Amino acid sequence: MNMAVKVTKFGGSSLASAEQILKMKQIVEADEARKFVVPSAPGKRFKDDVKVTDLLYSLHDAAAHFEETDGIYGQIVRRYTDIRDELGLSIKIEEYLEKMYRDIKTGANEDYAASRGEYLNGLLIADLLGYDFIDAADVIFFDETGSYDAKKTLSVLPGALKLHERAVIPGFYGSLPNGRIKTFSRGGSDITGSIVSRAANADLYENWTDVSGFMMADPRIVENPRKIDVVTYRELRELAYMGATVLHEDSIFPVLEAAIPINVKNTNDPENSGTMIIPAIEGRDGARDGITGIAGKKNFTVITIEKDGMNTEIGFGRKVLTCLEKFGLSFEHMPSSIDTISIVVADIRIRHCIEELIDEIHAVCQPDSVEVSSNMAIIATVGRGMIRQVGVSAKLFAALAQSHVNVRMIDQGSSEINIIVGVENDDFEKAVQAIYSALV
Ligand SMILES: Nc1ncnc2c1ncn2[C@@H]1O[C@H](COP(=O)(O)OP(=O)(O)O)[C@@H](O)[C@H]1O
Ligand SMILES: N[C@@H](CC(=O)OP(=O)(O)O)C(=O)O
């Protein structure tokens, strides 16, 4: 009989120090099935600490601008040598660090620099566990456009995993067709864990972090939020995309087809069952009272375009989108009513071209007015049962009104599993707390 296989991804918070890494070791060794380990780079040890990935971005930036680099490099060296020494390992991590430093100083790309956080941690962890080390650059691939290449990866990775009884595969990066290193977006070790789970045909993908699963709201905003025991891939994707950073929003794609469940667990409380993320909940959709969760993000710009008779003007939406396309902008949401259409774009993407974009919209769409509000936050209230439940929106808006939160935008998503509201950045925390108290 084939033995069960579990892939375990440990986040930066779970590997920030030797003490945390020893907890990881205990967890991995407690279950024979935990054959493949995907580590992140060491994260924050305390509130104001700096993640190694952020140090690496700073190091690359300083080197690229010919600024002083020895200080940052020294901090990175200390993070790894401290871990190595406290774990009593003899691996010569300095040699790998020195090579990295040379490469960065001689023009290695930013992704290469960022990826070394996971690479170096992977070497230490493989040594500690006595597992083989597989460099993600040899088994995880991106195409020429920089998108993840599932076909190529799945033609190489399953075979590579079969050659190893137990292995460590660092998270966050792979390689481009020209051999250069490419990373996923921030938090992307979660995606590596999912890819390895698919390739290993795992029975379970365990994602170990510093919270006991997905909570109904961000624990940094709502005190002691309720845990979500079971959540569907789709709800998870909505919540993750909207700001619940526990799991990267793209982590579900690699395991989707194979329907491999994801279990979010707490390295500091391994007995807690955490949250199970599964394809669908048969026969229970709609049976759940209330909502699944609340998530949100700050720093968006909302452009509201008004034009009488917009609803009958053929091609109006296309014209607006052409303007965005001209500036290479994607949008997050686009709620509309009879004579208005709003476009929500992240501040950081639009800041440099907002004035030119508005001029373009005036020229191309001939609107009656265009209003721009920046420093907006968007909050999504998500739940698969919400659509069949009367009164959720009424309660939500009453709660916001009672807390004196000015609602600047409403978008009842057509996916019908979320209601999105736009509020000012300053009202963000208050709004999340108000929605949580009213609906949970
Ligand atoms: N809904 C939520 N449930 C749980 N944690 C959340 C939620 N929203 C945001 N978080 C934050 O996500 C953090 C875990 O994600 P992250 O920092 O990426 O962990 P890791 O370093 O393990 O990858 C938690 O510490 C918590 O502050
Ligand atoms: N270290 C990378 C990738 C990652 O997934 O990290 P974490 O698991 O700590 O979120 C980052 O900081 O983005």
Residue 326, classed as helix, strand or coil, is: helix
Are residue 251 and residue 391 in the same domain, yes or no? no
Are residue 337 and residue 401 in the same domain, yes or no? yes
List, for residues 255-295, the tens digit of each pLDDT value: 998 999 999 999 999 999 999 999 976 655 444 556 889 99
Q: Are 114 and 180 in contact (CB under 8 A)?
A: no
What pLDDT does 333 receive?
Answer: 84
Q: Is the pLDDT of residue 151 over 50?
A: yes
Q: Is the pLDDT of residue 358 over 80?
A: yes
Q: Is the pLDDT of residue 300 over 70?
A: yes
Are residue 385 and residue 271 in the same domain, yes or no? no
In this structure, which ligand is nearest to the CA of 172? Answer: 2
As to burial, measured by CB atoms within 10 angstroms (0-12 exposed, 13-18 middle, 19+ buried), residue 282 is: exposed
What pLDDT does 332 receive?
Answer: 85
User: Mean pLDDT, to the nearest integer, of 394-419?
Assistant: 84
Asked if residue 284 is part of any domain, the answer here is no
Are residue 243 and residue 384 in the same domain, yes or no? no
Distances (CA, A) of 351 to 91, 328, 335, 356: 47, 13, 21, 10
Please say which residue of 278, 304, 321 terminates a domain. 278
Are residue 246 and residue 192 in the same domain, yes or no? yes
Q: Is the pLDDT of residue 139 over 50?
A: yes
**Is any atom of ligand 2 closer than 6 Å to the C-beta of 187?**
yes
Residue 213, classed as helix, strand or coil, is: coil
Q: Where are the beta strands (DSSP E) in 166-306?
A: 167-168, 173-175, 181-183, 204-209, 230-232, 262-266, 275-278, 293-306
What pLDDT does 416 receive?
Answer: 65
Q: What percent of the chain has pLDDT over 90?
A: 80
Q: Where are the beta strands (DSSP E) in 6-57?
A: 6-10, 34-39
**Is any atom of ligand 2 closer than 6 Å to the C-beta of 274?**
no
Q: Model's pTM, two decimal places?
A: 0.90
What pLDDT does 344 receive?
Answer: 92
Are residue 246 and residue 97 in the same domain, yes or no? yes
What's the CA gap between 335 and 343, in Å, rounded? 7
What pLDDT does 277 receive?
Answer: 95
In this structure, which ligand is nearest to the CA of 53? Answer: 2
CA of 406 from ligand 2 middle (Å) equals 34
**Structural domain total, the chain:** 2
User: Mean pLDDT, to the nearest integer, of 150-171?
Assistant: 98
Q: What percent of the chain has pLDDT over 70?
A: 95
Are residue 200 and residue 91 in the same domain, yes or no? yes
Are residue 258 and residue 342 in the same domain, yes or no? no
Q: Give the number of the atom of ligand 1 that is nearest the alpha carbon of residue 43.
A: 21
What's the CA gap between 221 and 297, in Å, rounded? 12
What pLDDT does 156 receive?
Answer: 98
Are residue 270 and residue 298 in the same domain, yes or no? no
CA of 167 from ligand 1 middle (Å) equals 26
Are residue 269 and residue 353 in the same domain, yes or no? no
Write the residue with the smallest CA distance to atom 5 of ligand 2: 187
User: Mean pLDDT, to the nearest integer, of 69-86?
Assistant: 98
Q: Are 356 and 326 in contact (CB under 8 A)?
A: no
Angle ∠(100,37,233) on CA atoms, nearest 5: 110
Confidence of residue 215 (pLDDT cuts 50, 70, 90): very high
Q: Is the pLDDT of residue 18 over 90?
A: yes
Write the residue with the smallest CA distance to atom 15 of ligand 1: 246
What's the CA gap between 192 and 117, in Å, rounded? 14
The count of other CB atoms within 10 Å of the CB of residue 76 is: 23
Return all residues near 178 (Cβ < 8 A) that are at least 6 apart: none
Is residue 118 part of an annotated ligand binding site? yes
Rg (CA), the chain: 23
Are residue 163 and residue 192 in the same domain, yes or no? yes
What CATH number has the domain bearing residue 226? Answer: 3.40.1160.10
The closest alpha carbon to 301, from 280, 282, 327, belongs to: 327
CA of 307 from ligand 2 middle (Å) equals 44
Write the residue with the smallest CA distance to atom 6 of ligand 2: 187
Q: Is the pLDDT of residue 387 over 80?
A: no
What pLDDT does 285 receive?
Answer: 46
Is residue 86 part of an annotated ligand binding site? no
What's the CA gap between 346 and 344, in Å, rounded? 7
Are residue 346 and residue 270 in the same domain, yes or no? no
User: Mean pLDDT, to the nearest integer, of 320-335?
Assistant: 91
Q: Are 237 and 252 in contact (CB under 8 A)?
A: yes
User: Mean pLDDT, to the nearest integer, of 189-195?
Assistant: 98
Q: Give the number of the atom of ligand 1 that is nearest the alpha carbon of residue 207.
A: 22
- Both tokens of 290, joined, read 């209330």
Confidence of residue 414 (pLDDT cuts 50, 70, 90): low
Asked if residue 288 is part of any domain, the answer here is no
What pLDDT does 3 receive?
Answer: 79
User: Mean pLDDT, to the nearest integer, of 233-245?
Assistant: 88
Asked if residue 10 is part of any domain, the answer here is yes
User: 33 forms bridges with which residues in the sheet?
Assistant: none
Highest mean pLDDT among 140-149, 327-336, 343-352: 140-149
Out of 142-156, 169-183, 335-349, which region has the weakest mean confidence (pLDDT)? 335-349
Residues 343-377 as b/e (b if ≥16 CB within 10 A, e otherwise) read bbbbeebbeeebeebbebbeeebebeebeebbebb
Q: Please state the length of the chain.
A: 440
Out of 48-52, 240-244, 400-404, which region has the weakest mean confidence (pLDDT)? 240-244
What pLDDT does 336 receive?
Answer: 83
What mean pLDDT is reported for the chain? Answer: 93
At residue 381, what are phi and psi to the nearest 5 degrees? -110, 120
What pLDDT does 290 receive?
Answer: 66
Is residue 53 part of an annotated ligand binding site? yes
Write the residue with the smallest CA distance to atom 9 of ligand 2: 12
CA of 191 from ligand 1 middle (Å) equals 15
- Both tokens of 130, joined, read 């006595």
Q: Where are the beta strands (DSSP E) in 333-424?
A: 340-346, 369-382, 409-412, 418-424
| Structure letter (DSSP) for residue 203 | S
Is residue 11 part of an annotated ligand binding site? yes
What CATH number has the domain bearing residue 375? Answer: 3.30.2130.10
Q: Is the pLDDT of residue 103 over 60?
A: yes
CA of 211 from ligand 1 middle (Å) equals 7
Is residue 371 part of an annotated ligand binding site? no
Asked if residue 286 is part of any domain, the answer here is no
Helices (H), 346-440: 347-350, 354-365, 392-402, 428-439
The domain containing residue 106 runs over which residues? 6-278
Q: Is the pLDDT of residue 38 over 90?
A: yes
Q: Higher model confidence: residue 140 or residue 349? A: 140
Confidence of residue 385 (pLDDT cuts 50, 70, 90): low
Q: Is the pLDDT of residue 296 over 60?
A: yes
